[in-house]
Amino acid sequence: MTDAEPNWEWYRTFLQVLETGSLSAAARAMGLTQPTVGRHIDSLETALALKLFTRSFDGFTPTDAAWELKPYAAGLADTAAALRRVASSHGAGVRGTVRITASEIIGVEVLPPILSALRGKHPQLTIELVLSNAADDLLHREADIAVRMFKPTQDALVAKRVGAIELGLHAHKDYLATHGVPKSMKGLANHSMIGFDHGTAFIRKMQIQFPVFSRPGLAFRADSDLAQLAAIRAGFGIGACQVALAARDPSLVRVLTSRFSPALDTWIVMHEDLRESPRCAVTFTALATGLGRYILQGA
């Protein structure tokens, strides 16, 4: 390993080649030439005295060393992105970039009108929205603000509970007209059920409490909440849907209301260091207010 500190751009290029699998694809994604990308990789390998990729006719294959370096390079990328967001916020008024992470359903179906109204009030505010059911690490600044369905435990985070989002069993009215309305949870065994393909701790808990959602009994399996919602709307069968969301669509009918009504605790979370940031403060408040109103729609 040389004494010279590797250039950050080399790490950025390394991550892009790791993701795309080739110099040409990485070059297109970064707006660079292929020879430049190749020089970045060669320079990083020389500086670190490591072989990061093996060249083959169909692309670049990462070595074990590359996979070990990936989380550290990704941490550098997150820090650099956070630095740019903070720098962009300096100036008069509310301005700059706020990076928000939320689940697919919340991010696609609930947040857009909230964020649109926020942008209307603060036109110099830029929003980055990350759709993920994973808990992005706010402590490492992968995002500024998160909408989470569980209470955070880290002391360095500011968290506000905005309420509980009720879930219900729903189906399209045309599906129920054809297949009938189930009268009991056991009766769901005779229906096309929609649920998850793979289990998380929360999903496994739900499956124990409601065995009808066990994987073998499902007629439609998808780990995407949006895909499940689309299947419900298309009349494929019966699935779990946020009550407030279903209330917006008169074609969706709730069934077995008294038998199935679990709730998801909903929290808005950000790092305590961002408490005094105008861009994050107004966004935090807008999300809390907007999600609170949304939850009341299903009450």
3 within domain boundaries? no
Q: What is the pLDDT of residues 120-165, one digit of tens each?
A: 999 989 999 988 866 656 555 678 899 988 887 776 788 899 999 9
Confidence of residue 88 (pLDDT cuts 50, 70, 90): low
- Residue 1 has a pLDDT of 53
Of the residues 35, 54, 85, the one at which a domain ends: 85
The count of structural domains within the chain is 3
Q: What is the pLDDT of residues 13-71, one digit of tens each?
A: 888 888 888 888 888 888 888 889 889 988 888 888 889 888 876 678 889 988 998 88
260 class by beta-carbon count within 10 Å (0-12 exposed, 13-18 middle, 19+ buried): buried
Residues 175, 232, single domain; the answer is yes
Residues 179, 206, single domain; the answer is yes
1 within domain boundaries? no
- Residue 226 has a pLDDT of 95
| In the predicted structure, residue 227 carries a pLDDT above the cut 90 | yes
Q: Are residues 23 and 41 in contact, defined by beta-carbon separation less than 8 angstroms?
A: yes
Q: What is the pLDDT of residues 167-203, one digit of tens each?
A: 999 999 999 999 999 999 999 999 999 999 987 777 8
Taking CA atoms, 277 is separated from 121, 156, 162, 272, in Å, by 17, 15, 21, 10
CATH number at residue 36: 1.10.10.10
- Residue 34 has a pLDDT of 87
Question: Which is it for the CA torsion 188, 193, 197, 202, positive or negative?
Answer: negative
Residues 217, 151, single domain; the answer is no
Other CB atoms within 10 A of residue 37 CB: 25
Of the residues 56, 85, 114, the one at which a domain ends: 85
Residues 211, 126, single domain; the answer is no
Of the residues 51, 85, 119, the one at which a domain ends: 85
Say whether 183 sits in a helix, a strand or coil.
Answer: coil
- Which domain covers residue 49, as residue numbers? 8-85
pTM beyond cutoff 0.75:
no
- Residue 3 has a pLDDT of 56
